[in-house]
């Protein structure tokens, strides 16, 4: 970790992947990840989006991204049994800045600063709201579970 990122982690009580995966429920992990400071939905890079788009299309990022997907077994918020079917996003636990990109800081590709998330989870983290369905236990389909008039289904 470079000196500036280390300094920021000490000052801001930066959160880490190794702490996230100790949380036992999806809701606790979501609350750990959601944006606490700043304005929800505020543009992270404004007119400088070209910086992060260049970064996210680089060969180095693609290799790193594949490593993180493998580490997290493709699970939402690295929660076992919550496989992501569809596009997997790599979310920076501590948001990156324009300066991080311009100076190519180590925290951009620090495995302790990223986690796999689904598109739905990513939008909830960044734009707010709470989709309570994402925290419910998965219930497997059963015969007749599509009959709306039957009770207890």
| Partners of 91 in the β-ladder | 115
Contact 12, 120 (CB under 8 A): no
Average pLDDT estimate for 116-121: 93
Domain positions in the chain are: 3-130
The predicted model scores a pTM of 0.75
What proportion of the chain, given as a percentage, has pLDDT over 90? Answer: 46
| Partners of 88 in the β-ladder | 118
Distance CA 16, CA 2 (A): 15
Look up tokens 């998965």; give the residue. 138
Highest averaged pLDDT of the listed ranges 4-8, 136-140, 141-145:
141-145
């Amino acid at each position: 970790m470079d000196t500036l990122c280390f300094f920021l982690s000490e000052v801001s009580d930066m959160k880490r992947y190794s702490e996230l995966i100790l949380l036992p429920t999806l809701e606790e992990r979501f609350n750990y990840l959601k944006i606490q400071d700043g304005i929800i939905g505020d543009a992270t890079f404004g007119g400088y989006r070209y910086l992060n788009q260049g970064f996210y299309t680089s060969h180095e990022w693609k290799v790193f991204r594949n490593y993180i997907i493998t580490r997290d077994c493709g699970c939402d918020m690295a929660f076992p049994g919550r496989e992501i079917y569809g596009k997997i996003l790599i979310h920076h636990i501590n948001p990156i800045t324009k300066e991080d990109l311009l100076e190519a800081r180590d925290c951009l590709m620090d495995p302790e600063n990223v986690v796999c998330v689904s598109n739905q989870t990513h939008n909830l983290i960044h734009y707010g709201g709470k989709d309570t369905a994402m925290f419910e236990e998965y219930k497997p389909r059963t015969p007749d579970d599509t009959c709306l008039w039957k009770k207890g289904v």
